[in-house]
Amino acid sequence: MERAVSVPETRIATVPEGSRLLSRELSWLAFNERVLEEAADPRWPLLERVKFLAIFHSNLDEFFMIRVAGLHTLLEQGEDGPGPDGFTAREQLERIGSAVRRLVRSASAVLSGELLPALEKAGIRLHRRGTLGPEARAKAADYFQSTVFPVLTPLPVDPGHPFPFISNLSLSLAVEAEDPLTGERRFARVKVPEILPRFVPLGGDDFIPLEELIESHLDALFPGMRIVGVYPFRITRDMDMAILEAEADDLLQVVDRQVRRRRFGHVVRLEIDSQPPERIRGLLLDKLQLERDDLYECCSPLGASALMALAGLQRPDLHDPPFVPAVARELVEGDVFAAIRAGDVLLHHPYDSFAPVLAFLRQAAADPDVLAIKMTLYRTGASSEIVRSLTTAAENGKQVAVAIELKARFDERNNIEWARALERSGVHVFYGSAELKIHAKAALVVRRESDRIRRYVHLSTGNYNAATSRVYTDVGLLTCAQEIGEDVSELFNALSGFARPTYRELAVAPDTLAPRFLALIGEQAERARAGKQARIFVKMNALVDAEIIEALYAASQAGAQRRAGVPLLRGLDAAQPPSQGGADVPGAAPRATAAAAARGDRARAVRQLPRARPGCLWHLPAQDSSARRARARCAARGFRGGAAAGGPQRSPQPRSPPILKLVGFRPQTASSGARRRRKDR
């Protein structure tokens, strides 16, 4: 069946003339356009398409909060010189504005022209205020009076009432009312309460947007006034944080203070529908201190990321079939330490269950022979069995040390709360530095056994989060190899103290991961030049490191006919494929995108590609197949910008499925990662 989507092929110009690198911001927008294509693809179940559209809008919100806000900061600081991609900040903002407006128009067409009619046909109706029948209108009025009206607060704007503070991503109604006695026109802002459901249920699968419900009952908020116009609008603020090393005497307090302060960031985007007259547009732009270029017209509903609520409706006929991951029972129901001693365990999530990792930590917490547990936490979720296991271990008298990354974007508040809860339980908690993030995902269990002290290790590309492990593609390794255990011990000592250890098996950013990766690329380039089999297949979240890109260009040029450089990318990509400069950029690396791979292998891509994490790939030495053994090279995020542990180089012992799965890997694969810009912008 041919792909039938209404979104045109990507037309975002991502590279200026003469540049060897793509714009990372425009590349990200091209990625988000591929998400929109999935929403427009009729082969997906209907509510999965709605979910993709909500993800598209949520992605766009974060893009403005971080990436666009960062470009505005560069302009404010007078730093408008060309970046590595050849674009200035001002040029990027101009191109971003044009691309976003086109994408938003396409998204509105997908929603109004395809999804809403299909939802109505399936019995899910999103009503406008003028389309309600008598019974539904009565239910809506009752809900407004009992639930909505008590929490509304109209805020007028006049000489005695300054323009109110508007929080990030909040939806508001600009209300213009007229006094029928004096003819005086007044302006007020009414916030659509975020504490209430955005789509009000009217019975069955019938809903009305909350803003439409409020608009139809404004006479209750402004009695005796004539409503002239009601105009929804929404703002986006700068939500990035910059923490200077000199300020970080107590990193937890600094991050806590910055999180509280972040809500007052500068406004970087104003969204309105097409109805407001020029006087309302001008008033909002003036009060929010925005330029005309920061104004974006969108069709209702504004803030369409809220459609995720509809995507979660319990309609199995409109969702993907449920997926049940494979469970290694000897790891979950038996002695997990004995299973690991029998051989290394490779888990490929979400195809393999995350339960063995939870069992590993749960057994460690209860085992009287376990002496110590150390691990890193980045995004562990609001309710975490892992945190409960760590707390239990500390209460059982074990030495427990946890590195919590307080600067995990938009999870800062959650991580601060976990840090305080763990400290209250007796866990030794420590943090990264102000300049680096701890992206390594590692756990170390030190256990006393009959003949020795043995270290058990878990390394992963994914967060210690049971919920996301069911969605994101990641690889985890459970091992008790002595060399790896010793290296992980050195890693934790370096994170909690101050040291520059020499690792034997691990490649650790920001010191050794990038050089190791460059060396692997160089090996393949040399093999290609010598006429030998050479191939690099790299699966990663983003590719923006200029030195790595140049090395891939060179490897591709050395053996393009041998496909010596093929990255599979989910998001940001600064490397040019041949179709965007093969003749002008020598050795431009061929690549496959997540969307392209999805078109080629739909069933596998459903859960693997849309949320692929930075790579954990296995490096297979280029030897005869009879002698080839797998060497793990797990690269967590970041070549240079954060503390990330690259994986072991030993040969895992062959095991039978489902314990060890090495499927579909080719000679000389390599690890992946992405360089972070200064201040993580």
The catalytic residue positions are 439
List strand residue ranges (DSSP E) for 504-638, in order: 507-509, 537-540, 566-569, 592-593, 616-619, 631-634
- For 167-236, what is the HEC assignment? CCCCEEEEEEEECCCCCCEEEEEEECCCCCCCEEECCCCEEEEHHHHHHCCHHHHCCCCEEEEEEEEEEE
Dihedral (CA of 588, 591, 595, 601) sign: positive
In angstroms, how far apart are the furthest CA atoms of the chain?
A: 94
- Pick from 617, 589, 572: which is nearest to 525 by CA? 589
- The Cα–Cα gap between 578 and 585 comes to 8
Residues 6+ apart with CB under 8 A from 72: 89, 93, 238, 266, 268
Residue 471 CA: distances (Å) to CA of 325, 348, 530: 11, 12, 42
Amino acid of residue 587 = G
Q: Kindly state the tokens that stand for 17.
A: 């003339």
Contact 268, 67 (CB under 8 A): no
What CA dihedral angle connects 334, 340, 342 and 347, to 10 degrees?
100
- The Cα–Cα gap between 512 and 150 comes to 59
- The Cα–Cα gap between 619 and 299 comes to 49
Residue 562 CA: distances (Å) to CA of 525, 537, 589: 10, 12, 12
- The Cα–Cα gap between 655 and 663 comes to 12
Amino acid of residue 635 = A
- What count of Cα atoms within 13 Å lies in the side-chain half-sphere of residue 430? 15
- CB neighbours of residue 38 within 10 Å: 23
- The Cα–Cα gap between 348 and 165 comes to 47
Contact 189, 164 (CB under 8 A): yes
Q: DSSP alpha helices (H): ranges in 294-384?
A: 308-311, 329-332, 336-342, 355-366
Residues 6+ apart with CB under 8 A from 614: 461, 540, 541, 542, 635, 636, 637, 672, 673, 674
Q: Kindly state the tokens that stand for 335.
A: 């002695």
Contact 198, 210 (CB under 8 A): yes
- The Cα–Cα gap between 14 and 31 comes to 11
In sequence order, the β-bridge partners of residue 365 are none
In sequence order, the β-bridge partners of residue 632 are 618
Amino acid of residue 311 = A
Q: Kindly state the tokens that stand for 167.
A: 């929080």
Dihedral (CA of 497, 498, 503, 508) sign: positive
Does the bond joining 658 to the residue before it have cis omega, within 30 degrees of 0? yes
**DSSP secondary-structure letter at 462?**
S
Residue 630: helix, strand or coil by DSSP?
A: coil
- The Cα–Cα gap between 235 and 298 comes to 12
- Pick from 609, 677, 591, 608: which is nearest to 638 by CA? 677
